[in-house]
Structure 1
Amino acid sequence: MSIHFKEVKHMFYSVVLTLQAISSGQITSFVGQKIHGWLFSLLKKADANLAPALHASVPNKAFTVSSFLGRKLNSTLEINEGELYKIRLTFLNDNVFQAISGEIYELLARAIPIQLERVKFIINLLTVDPEDPWSGFTTEEELLESVNENREIALKFYTPTCFRIGDLHLREPEPEKVFTSLLCKWNTHCSFKFDENLRDKFKEIVILESDIIQKRVQFSHFYIQGFVGSVKYKLPEIPSVIKTANILANFAFYSGVGYKTTMGLGQVKRL
């Protein structure tokens, strides 16, 4: 499959914030949901018109958030004053990144507290350094030009991942669902559009190895269950699928996979 594009300028960002607790307390529901609310409050302050437009862009919004990196997902969190906690924000749109980053830099420079549930934090550090395993940046052009035609793709899902089909939540790492989710996110936010007919060809991708468990997280008024762990996929000998799936697997670091990536679900890395 050959790819042709003109002046691709879209950038993707993964920003890691280091927060320091300035009070102690509990966060009783999934941190990703709290960070989502905080992020939207920043966006409303930065751009009153952009916030409602972004909120209405269902289901493939231009950002994702994490929970606290490396912390438990499925229980009440005890927050201790003085401790450091890391969160990650990714952006698939320059306007959203610029609006949010400007507000975050002000909070950082002036040590203005932020509040998640009843606990207050200050931002100690913002990084997009690719040396950090959870931060970095790339462009649409770089992803499209990456020479990677492996027929085996391994992904690690760090937070519960599921796919919503109507009223159902599908909780298995089915190849078609994983790569179709990535295809939809890519085609929503990128200049170059992949052929939507690839969805049918994704059905020929198979799982070689799977080491997953089911995990649930408690939101304010409901819980969601999904899979976490590592999965290795084998691609069919179809050049368009091999090229596209490899690009999408690299894109997954920024886009997330599946349902409610804007609230901390579906955080994934290519291994």
Structure 2
Amino acid sequence: MPHSLILNLLPQSPIYPQFLTGRHYHALFLTLVSSVDPALGEYLHNSKADKAFTLSPLQIQQRTKPDHYSLQLSHQKPIPAGTPCWWRVSLLDDTLFSKLTPLWLNLNPEHPWHLGSANLYITSIQGTPQSIQPWANACSYAQLYEQASESDRALNFLFATPVAFRQGTYDTFLPTRECIFNSLLSRWQKYSGIELSNISFDSIYPSCFNINTEIVRNYDSKFIGCIGEIGYRILGEIEPNTIKQINALADFALYAGIGRKTTMGMGMVRRR
């Protein structure tokens, strides 16, 4: 069962920009995992395979309805102590979620966690959507599939953090239908337990887009990705079951993310 969880955080000391990178977010998550299951934390640290979680960049909490078009990717100035922040963690399988259940159930709002040199308190965790927080949700794979439309031909995505895809030995930043839906299908087949057989993406065509490239920096390296909005339509005489399967994958994007480096804040996507 995939979960999209919002961890509400309160820094007790300034968080400096050099610690607000994908690698530091990845390290913080592994610290959380290791606090309840050291062996699992070590396994996730060493594993080179596709991992059953995604992370967002750290966001400063807004009291009004947020701009849904993008998230803050980097910070030029330190985040001051006492600034309410949030951080999205999505989990793609029940095993990982159940391993972390003791952490959620026994959350100590006075236990400090570390992001670089800063101390953070986790004040609460959201797992259901709210009007000012559209990134929180939970839904079983069976529900995702059953609720997927057999008639909706519009597939509109928001790329909230940069999306990139690996092709051979190089990266590509253009979100073609093959890149997007093969990325989603790969993660669906790995974690859902629901086989999508004989699915084809040949009927999917771009209908609109407003996209740009964006650079993400980590230490001395950098990655380039695509950010913005893109829409596709399913065209032609297509079986309802095929439309349903494609819609299930599009709905799954909220949890799975798309493309590379999703465990370091890239590829954070949701359907609009």
TM-score band, normalised by shorter chain: 0.7 to 0.9
Percent identity of paired positions between Structure 1 and Structure 2? 29
| Alignment of 1:47 onto 2:37 | yes
User: What does the per-residue CA deviation read over 1:130-156, in whole Å, with 9 as the maximum and x for residues that have no partner?
Assistant: 224111110011111114131111010
1:233 match: 232
Aligned to 1:269: 270
Looking at structure 2, the residues matched to 173 and 151 of structure 1 have their Cα atoms a distance apart, in angstroms, of: 18
Distance 1:232 1:90, change over 3 A: same
Q: Which amino acid aligns with 1:83?
A: T
Structure 1: runs of 5+ lacking an equivalent: 1-10
The change in CA–CA distance for 1:236 and 1:77 in structure 2 (over 3 A counts) is farther
Please name the residue that 1:35 is paired with: 25
What pairs with 1:107-146 in structure 2 (closer than 5 Å)?
A: 108-131=107-130, 132-146=133-147
- Name stretches of at least 5 consecutive residues in structure 2 with no aligned partner: 61-70
Q: Distance in 1 between matches of 2:5 and 2:42?
A: 23
Alignment of 1:1-271 (within 5 A): 11-28=1-18, 30-55=20-45, 58-69=48-59, 72-106=72-106, 108-131=107-130, 132-148=133-149, 149-195=151-197, 198=199, 201-237=200-236, 238-239=238-239, 240-271=241-272
2:21 touches 2:217 (CA, 8 Å); kept in 1?
Answer: no
TM-score (norm 2): 0.87
Kept in 2, the 8 Å contact 1:28–1:76? The answer is no
The 2-side partners of 1:224 and 1:260 are apart by 9
TM-score by length of 1: 0.87
Cα shift readout 1:47-69 (whole Å, capped 9, x = no counterpart): 23333444565443111111123
Q: Is the 8 A contact 2:216 2:224 kept in 1?
A: yes
Q: Distance in 2 between matches of 1:247 and 1:26?
A: 39
Instruction: Count residues in correspondence.
Output: 257
Residue 8 of structure 1 corresponds to none
Give the root-mean-square deviation of aligned CA atoms.
2.0
For residues 241 and 130 of structure 1, do their structure 2 counterparts lie closer, same or farther at Cα, with a shift above 3 Å needed?
same
Cα distance between partner residues in 2 of 1:219 and 1:30: 9
